[in-house]
């Protein structure tokens, strides 16, 4: 599968002929500026971790233009129906899984908050475990470290973990390395940093700590693609 990072938490995954787009905050995302615009993205599926504006982002515009299936918690899919009259949605909630024809999705717990830009309650925030092409991806969403992370991986383990490192709103670099110690992914990609002043960090602090602990990290520049 092909994974493209567009800065912040925007991740595109092309798998089995299906394009998944996670947390499509493109308009107003300075890291995506000059790299991609919301109109360039043509997902079949949009996955949302929570309703905060820096994740919800361009969801209504992209969904209405492409007709993409929006996978999110019940409060978010209900909001899309109620406020945007958008019905091509699949509601989930923490701990639940669903097998789509392109892969299996589990909504995981995330310790954070969730409200829409207009203040509407957005339900509980989530992460995702995605089982695609025999691989397992973990998208932590916005969260701090939590001890239940140790229960997430099945016996085959996590191939790639996407962890926030920006601090202030989520875990920072040190906590992300502690999560890696628990999750033991084969590769970790840092996300949710350097988008706003509150989450400006020196990413080398994370990569150096990962190196020192003997774990593999890969920093993706906005627009950069990797094969998994």
In the complex, least distance from residue 114 CB atom to Ni ion, rounded to whole angstroms: 7
The least CB distance from residue 46 to Mn ion, in Å, is: 16
Measured CA to CA, the distance from residue 65 to residue 26 in angstroms comes to: 15
- Does 52 sit near Ni ion (CB under 5 A)? yes
Residue 14 vs 167, nearer CB to Mn ion: 167
Contact in structure between 14 and 1 (CB atoms under 8 Å): yes
Binding window for Mn ion (CB under 5 A); candidates: 12-20, 39-47, 52-60, 218-226: 52-60
Three-state DSSP at 131 gives strand
Could you say which of Ni ion, Mn ion, none residue 8 binds, taking C-beta under 5 to 8 angstroms by partner kind? Answer: none
Among positions 14, 23, 75, 142, the unique one binding Mn ion when judged by CB under 5 A:
142
Distance CA 38, CA 25 (A): 8
Q: How far is the CB of 213 from Ni ion (least distance, A)?
A: 27
x/- site string to Mn ion, residues 168 to 207, per CB under 5 A?
----------------------------------------
Q: Is 142 near Ni ion (CB under 5 A)?
A: yes
Q: What is the dihedral of CA 102, 68, 219, 222, to 10 degrees?
A: 150
DSSP string, 207-221: HHHHHHHT--B-PPP
CA distances from 125 to 34, 48, 61, 92, 122 (A): 29, 9, 22, 11, 8
The stretch near Ni ion (CB under 5 A) out of 33-41, 46-54, 75-83, 115-123 is: 46-54
Q: Walk across the sheet containing 69-73 and list its strands.
A: 89-92, 69-73, 45-47, 18-22, 11-15, 2-5, 225-227
75 touches Ni ion by CB under 5 A: no
Among 54, 58, 75, 159, binds Mn ion (CB under 5 A): 54
């Amino acid at each position: 599968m092909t994974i493209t990072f567009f800065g912040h938490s925007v991740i595109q995954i092309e798998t089995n002929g299906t394009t998944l787009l996670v947390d499509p905050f493109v308009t107003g995302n300075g890291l995506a500026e000059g790299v991609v615009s919301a109109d360039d993205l043509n997902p079949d599926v949009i996955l949302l971790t929570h309703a905060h504006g820096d994740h919800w982002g361009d969801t209504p515009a992209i969904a209405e233009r492409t007709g993409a299936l929006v996978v999110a918690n019940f409060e978010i899919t209900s909001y899309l129906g109620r406020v945007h009259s958008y019905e091509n949605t699949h509601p989930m909630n923490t701990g639940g899984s669903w097998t789509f024809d392109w892969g299996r999705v589990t909504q995981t717990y995330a310790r954070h908050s969730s409200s829409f830009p207009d203040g509407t309650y957005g339900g509980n925030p989530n992460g995702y475990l995605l089982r695609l092409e025999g691989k397992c991806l973990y998208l932590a969403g916005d969260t701090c470290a939590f001890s239940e992370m140790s229960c997430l991986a099945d016996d085959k383990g996590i191939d790639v973990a996407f962890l926030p490192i920006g601090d202030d709103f989520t875990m920072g670099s040190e906590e992300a390395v502690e999560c890696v110690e628990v999750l033991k992914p084969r590769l970790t990609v840092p996300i949710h940093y350097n988008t706003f002043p509150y989450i400006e960090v020196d990413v080398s602090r994370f990569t150096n700590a990962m190196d020192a602990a003997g774990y593999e990290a890969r920093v993706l520049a906005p627009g950069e693609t990797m094969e998994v």
